[in-house]
Amino acid sequence: MSHANCARLSSKMDLIESCILSVEKITDQERIEKILTQTFEALCDDVIPDSDDYHSVFNHQMYRYILKHYKHKEGRICFWRFVKNLSSGELNYRERDEMLPELRMMDHLTRIYFFSDPLDDLTCIFIPINDSALIRKYLGWIKNYFYHDANYPSSLLWLYALDSSLSSLFPDQIVYLGKELSREERNIAVPDFDFEDTVLIKKFSDTPGHYVKLEGKNANDEFRQIFTFLQQEHKDRCLSRSGKQDETIDKVTYNKEWEKFEDVLRFGVSDKNESGCISFSDMRASTEFLNTYGKRVYLNKIQQPFFEQTKIVSKKYNSWETT
């Protein structure tokens, strides 16, 4: 397609910003959806990225998928984010008006997904516990986007830092845009890997141009592997699943909860009281069986089937399991 008559995405900044300012003041979801529908039905498809840098390409795809829902009436549109490192510009969320234009646009478009009821999102963020100076900044970013400002409870899984051996294998950020499967009773949004119009963007660092974009089958095949990893990580390493702040919690209790999270991230433990229950299970004479029949038989015939059955119990009560 020729780009001669196409507008750049930045030319839509004022309209999108006005939309965000409107929905921020409204609590009624039907009114929010009406404003979002009216705004994006009137916007054109013939929009191109402002540049070939990561944020401009990301913004263009976010915009395109918003139009898929609000203008072209495609359902179950969703985006997934894996975040290992947030840039300093993203962490300086308080100075929204002072952000660079591409970061401001990213902020606006991301909030559209937060405020929208039918558009869905899942963000997995690995907080860098090896850098205690950044922990409060990351917690502040989480509060801002997933507890305070988002009118519709967006999904965030925030997790401990990746092991150093794994960290080098993953880029700074991964974004996947496509459709989710019917939610049913799933805890997290699962991608529809048969949907052909998908996009995957992997950002490796803040160096200009240091990212790749995959589309269609290549995007699906790549993210299928990543998502399998994330599904396991959210069971084993998740510190919290976040949504909008519970308005029934008083400020003192709320602040204590965040102090506890900070303690866990910095020291691995917390001296704050925590309510809940723990289930312990073991197999009688397992060591004797291991010594008699060997490790391979024990693992394949005894241990693995045992833990597969205990997972059924954990899943029933929506709890996590550690082996």
- Token readout for 46 is 């013939």
Say if residue 311's pLDDT is above 80. no
Average of per-residue pLDDT values in the chain: 81
How large is the average pLDDT for residues 180-191? 73
pLDDT recorded at residue 173: 94
Selection from 65, 63, 84 nearest residue 75 by Cα: 65
Residues of the chain within CATH 3.30.870 domain(s) are 74-244
Cβ atoms of residues 58 and 175 within 8 Å: yes
Q: Is 189 helix (H, G, I), strand (E, B) or coil?
A: coil
323: confidence class by pLDDT, cuts 50, 70, 90: very low
Dihedral sign (CA 62, 64, 70, 73): negative
Amino acid letter, 182: S
The label of the residue with tokens 């179950």 reads 76
Helix, strand or coil for residue 81? Answer: strand
Return d(Cα 212, Cα 191) in angstroms, integer. 20
Whether 186 has a pLDDT exceeding 70, the answer reads: no
- Top-ranked range on mean pLDDT: pick from 162-166, 220-224, 233-237: 220-224
Of 133, 123, 147, 108, the residue nearest 244 (C-alpha): 147
| Short-list 20, 21, 139, 155, CA closest to 79 | 155
pLDDT tens-place string over residues 94-135: 666 677 889 999 989 998 998 888 888 888 888 888 788 888
Strand order, beta sheet including 120-126: 211-215, 199-203, 173-179, 77-83, 120-126, 155-159, 238-242
Contact 269, 292 (CB under 8 A): no
CA-wise closest residue to 198 among 209, 214, 186:
214
Which pLDDT tens digit goes with each residue over 241-300?
A: 665 555 666 778 777 878 888 887 877 655 555 565 666 677 778 778 777 877 667 766
Is a pLDDT exceeding 80 seen at residue 136?
Answer: yes
Residues with Cβ within 8 Å of 177's Cβ and at least 6 positions away in sequence, in order, are 61, 62, 65, 77, 78, 79, 80, 198, 199, 200
- The confidence score (pLDDT) of residue 214 equals 97
Here the tokens at position 287 are 């060591």
Q: pLDDT: is 297 or 78 the higher one?
A: 78
Q: Given the DSSP bridges, would you call strands 7-8 and 47-48 parallel, antiparallel or unpaired? A: parallel
- Over residues 10-53, the pLDDT tens digits come to 999 999 999 999 988 888 889 999 999 999 999 999 999 999 99
Q: Binning pLDDT at 50, 70 and 90, where does residue 1 land? A: very low
Band (pLDDT 50/70/90 cuts) for residue 204 is: very high
Instruction: Decide: 16 and 105 in contact? Cβ < 8 Å.
Output: yes
Q: Residue 300 has what pLDDT?
A: 65
CATH for 74-244, options being 3.40.50, 3.30.70, 1.10.10, 3.30.870: 3.30.870
Give the integer Cα–Cα distance in Å for 153 and 116.
10
Q: What are phi and psi of 47, to 5 degrees?
A: -125, 140
- Residue 314 pLDDT more than 90? no
294-323 mean pLDDT: 65
**List of residues 6+ apart from 176 with CB closer than 8 A:** 79, 80, 81, 191, 198, 199, 200, 201, 219, 223, 226, 227
The alpha carbon torsion through 64, 70, 75, 77 (nearest 10 deg) reads 40
pLDDT score for 316: 63
Amino acid at 121: D
Residue whose token pair is 């060997």 = 294
Reported as half-sphere exposure (CB side, CA atoms, 13 A), residue 101 has a value of: 12
